[in-house]
Amino acid sequence: MKIAIVGATGAVGQQMLQCLEERNVPGELKLLASARSVGKTFTYKGQEIAVEELCEDSFQDVDYALGATGNDITKKWMPWAQKNHVIVVDNSSAYRLDKDVPLVIPEINPEDIQNHHGLIANPNCATIIALVALNALRKEFGIKRMIVSTYQAVSGAGVKGIHDLEVQSKDPSVPSTAFPYQIAYNLIPQIGDFDDQGISKEEWKMQNEGRKIWHDENLLVSCTCVRVPIFRSHSESIFIECEKEVDVEKARALINQAAGCVLKDDPKKGIYPMPLDTTNQDLVYVGRFRKDISDPTGHSLSLFCCGDQIRKGAATNAVQILQELIK
């Protein structure tokens, strides 16, 4: 069995490489990237593997591919993979909402993987982190509406975003390469282009992807996405309106047992989710549970969660899907 990482030299591609080794996924590995990366080598399971140029013939000996490229490049190489009957797990947003492409978070809807036609999509990073935090609550209380504010790490903009924060933290006068404004010591309330309603592409993803993953076309989401000067963990402040009255202690107990979650909720003792604590690991930390005091029905709950954007928000989720496929 041979697995290819397409976009192997980027932030997500490099994390995919690490996750495959950590999880001891069987098979040989092939690293594909642009021509300028050809000849770079990376160590995998004790062996040096050289990067090869991504081209039409790259997939002739490949069984599975993990995609870590932008939408335009993904649309270029996807037909090459499909021609060679390669099963692809794709991290871009190019095919996420296609009706014939499963959109999967393994802790939530692994059964959807079996409906694939050679392609499974990885959800948006903020969507993954939010839905992992909310899934057990949805099963118990039903979720009708969500109001979400995201505080998204620079890693979501790739290696250029990480570089911008590194250099601007030392010298704020250095121009940004990944963002419209300085990111160090600043917040930027824009991720993606805005439509005529003033809603950004990133803000639409939470509703559109959430509906598909949960198979709930009635889910309502209002989202505000903000880029923050944090290196790699996203944070999210989430309000949910539920079908049933919410019990806060029951909510804590559910999260304490939920797949992919860690309960961090004792604020009087200073215990709550923080991006620093979730960096470079695969679990979503959830806490700051409280009822919405403005809702007399008791059907609403507020919480805060954090998760590593490069790992669970992208690479780890893709590798988990691959493991399900191999099983």
The reply to whether 156 sits in an annotated binding site is yes
Question: Is 23 annotated among the ligand-binding residues?
Answer: no
Q: Which helix (H) or strand (E) holds 284?
A: strand 284-291
Residue 257 in marked binding region? no
Tell me how far apart the alpha carbons of residues 247 and 252 are, in angstroms, rounded to a whole number. Answer: 9
Q: Is 36 annotated as a binding residue?
A: yes
CA–CA dist 48, 40 (Å, integer): 10
Tokens of 133: 């935090």
Strand partners, 233: 308
Q: Is 12 annotated as a binding residue?
A: yes
Q: Give me the sheet containing 233-242, strands edge to edge.
A: 220-227, 143-152, 233-242, 300-308, 284-291, 261-263
The reply to whether 227 sits in an annotated binding site is yes
Query: Which structure tokens are listed for 103?
Result: 């959109």
**Does 323 count as an annotated binding residue?**
no
Integer Cα distance of 326 and 308 in angstroms: 25
CB atoms closer than 10 angstroms to residue 160:
14
Interatomic CA distance for residues 238 and 320, integer angstroms:
25
Whether 9 has a binding-site annotation, put simply, is: yes
Q: How many CA atoms lie within 13 A of 122 on its CB side?
A: 31
Three-state DSSP state, 212: helix
Beta strands 2-6 and 41-44 are: unpaired
- Inter-residue contact 252 to 273 (CB < 8 Å): no
Q: Count the helices and strands in the chain (H runs, E runs).
A: 8, 13
Residues with catalytic function: 125, 234
Annotated binding site for NADP(+): 9-12, 36-37, 155-156, 309
Annotated binding site for phosphate: 96
Annotated binding site: 9-12, 36-37, 96, 152, 155-156, 227, 309
Annotated binding site for substrate: 152, 227
